Amino acid sequence: MLNYDVLVIGAGPAGSSAARYASRYGLKTLLVEKRPDIGSPVRCGEGISKAWMPEVDIKPEAHWISDEVKGARIYGPSEKKPIMLTAESAGNEVGFVVERDKFDKHIATLAATEGAEIWIKSPAMSVIKEGNRVVGAKIRHNGEEVEVRAKMVIAADGFESEFSRWAGLKSPILKKNDIISALEYRMENVDSNEDFTDFYLGSIAPAGYLWVFPKGPHEANVGIGVTITMMKDRLDVKNYLDSWIKSHPAYSKGRIIQQISGGVSVNKVKDKMSLPGLLAIGDAARLIDPITGGGIANGMISGKFAAQVSKKAIDENDFSEEMMKNYDLMVKDKFERKHLRNWFAKEKLGTLSNETLDKLVDVVADVKMTSISVEEILKGVQLKYPELVSQLEDLI
Ligand code: FAD
Ligand code: OZ2
């Protein structure tokens, strides 16, 4: 049996961020990852904005940046004039398309630098509980099942998260209209614009969108997310992506060098993301933004919160439900209102016809955007089409 202050399950960006901060706060920390290679295989569009990075002490580094973009373009179904979110008009920083495998390894390296121990190829197999408190996990490590005891356990095991459900947390369960099925090709020999991440709305991607995130002059991630309630068949999402590519000469001449797929949660913030001795973070806590589908930033921020509450719980020797609520409150304070607004907006957007979406994009494209954010787009919609956002007007 081994003893730690903090055991983190999963070395994605959320888990590595939690392990990094827990170690920084002086806690003896073990980070376990089931895969043999942190960050790989990549399952991500790799698009991130810059604005949140200082919050989790991340400085951009060339080795994990694939492309620096100057803005985002959002196209309606007829693909005419897009809504432009650009650094020039908004006057703030934009974002990157990253090399996600290198990015994830970088965050794990930062955790190691602070002193965290890391085990790869080491899946958590089951939860150890004493009464209602989680006190560790059984980990398969070097061919053996090792009992790891920890004062605090952090579940960072991603969208397919099982650990917190094994422990008895119900909140990871999602409603069908809050699940996106996503598919993406990494494509070579395409003509995308290196300066922009592009988003395409409409019946080409029912209740979701299609994206093109540039990775260089002739390389891009071309992906699609569709709400699963809009799908009749598992293959629908591939058919949607293939038919869009086929009808766009800049992409149809391209070559697919990698295909990935995965689930994306697009829900409101859950009420409870903790149990005594256990905190769920990142995708395991369903913290993806419900309109952009972006989860890297939120995962890393929630990892920092989990480390802070772990430190407090350990210092005060209090692992009660009440103590864990501090984490739920920090997460809600940060994300609840924004995700509620974006959830309502995505629900509404999913009901609009191509014709309405075209009109909407056309008029909102004329609004000067002063920051690169979803809020700014919704303010534009409120200005031009108030009836569409009447349900969420208090949140804009
Ligand atoms: P993950 O990155 O999933 O990490 C979880 C880790 O836990 C994994 O390494 C896994 O192997 C490990 N693990 C699982 N079970 C166990 C176990 N039992 N024991 C040990 N380890 C375990 N977000 C963005 O911000 N920008 C994007 O462009 C973007 N594009 C996306 C495109 C697609 C197709 C998909 C599916 C998602 C996309 N996302 C994007 C979402 C983003 O990938 C996630 O929100 C992000 O990875 C969440 O980080 P995480 O650390 O919570 O989980
Ligand atoms: P704000 C990002 O985080 C980029 C993430 C890209 C993730 C791609 C993953 C795709 C996976 C699945 C698809 C999910 C589909 C979800 C359903 C949607 C239903 C329509 C922008 O720049 C964050 O970016 C704008 C960044 O956002 C992105 C900052 O935003 C455009 C979003 C696309 C669609 C919106 C449609 C609205 C159209 C209305 C006509 C602000 C703060 O940082 C500022 O301080 O999270 O707001 O950050």
Lowest mean pLDDT across 67-76, 83-92, 368-377:
83-92
Q: Please give the DSSP secondary-structure letter assigned to residue 389.
A: G
Annotated binding-site residue numbers: 14, 33, 44-45, 47, 100, 124, 162, 283, 295-296, 338, 374
Alpha helices by DSSP H, listed for 263-320, are 296-315
- For residue 81, the CA-to-ligand 1 centroid distance in Å is 33
Task: Round to whole Å and give the CA distance between 389 and 44.
Answer: 30
Cα angle 367, 396, 90; round to 5: 40
Q: What is the pLDDT of residue 332?
A: 98
Look over the chain and give the mean of its residue pLDDT values, rounded to a whole number.
95
Q: Find the mean pLDDT for residues 26-34.
A: 98
Residue 172 φ/ψ, nearest 5 degrees: -65, -10
Q: What is the pLDDT of residue 195?
A: 94
Residues with CB under 6 A from ligand 2: 45, 47-49, 51-52, 72, 74, 85, 180, 182, 199, 208-209, 211, 225, 264, 266, 289, 291-294, 346, 349, 360-361, 364, 372-375, 377, 381
The answer to whether the beta carbons of residues 116 and 23 sit under 8 Å apart is yes
Task: Round to whole Å and give the CA distance between 193 and 216.
Answer: 9
For the segment 168-203, what is each residue's pLDDT rounded down to a tens digit? 998 888 999 999 999 999 999 999 999 999 999 999
Predicted TM-score of the model (pTM) = 0.97
- Residue ranges covered by each domain of the chain: 2-41+102-174+270-336, 47-100+175-265, 347-392
Cα angle 79, 82, 85; round to 5: 150
From 292, 337, 342, the mutation candidate for ligand 2 (largest count of ligand atoms within 8 A of CB) is 292
Domains 2-41+102-174+270-336 and 47-100+175-265 share a fold: no
Q: What is the pLDDT of residue 391?
A: 77
**5 C-beta closer than 6 A to ligand 1:** no
Q: What is the pLDDT of residue 90?
A: 66
The answer to whether the beta carbons of residues 237 and 181 sit under 8 Å apart is yes
For the segment 49-58, what is each residue's pLDDT rounded down to a tens digit? 999 999 999 9
Model confidence at 30: pLDDT above 70: yes
Which CA distances in Å does 292 have to 115, 295, 316?
A: 34, 9, 38
Q: Which CATH number applies to 2-41+102-174+270-336: 3.50.50.60, 1.10.357.20, 3.40.720.10, 3.40.50.720?
A: 3.50.50.60
CATH number of the structural domain 47-100+175-265: 3.30.9.10
Cα angle 338, 229, 363; round to 5: 50
Is the ipTM higher than 0.95? The answer is yes
The answer to whether the beta carbons of residues 302 and 289 sit under 8 Å apart is no
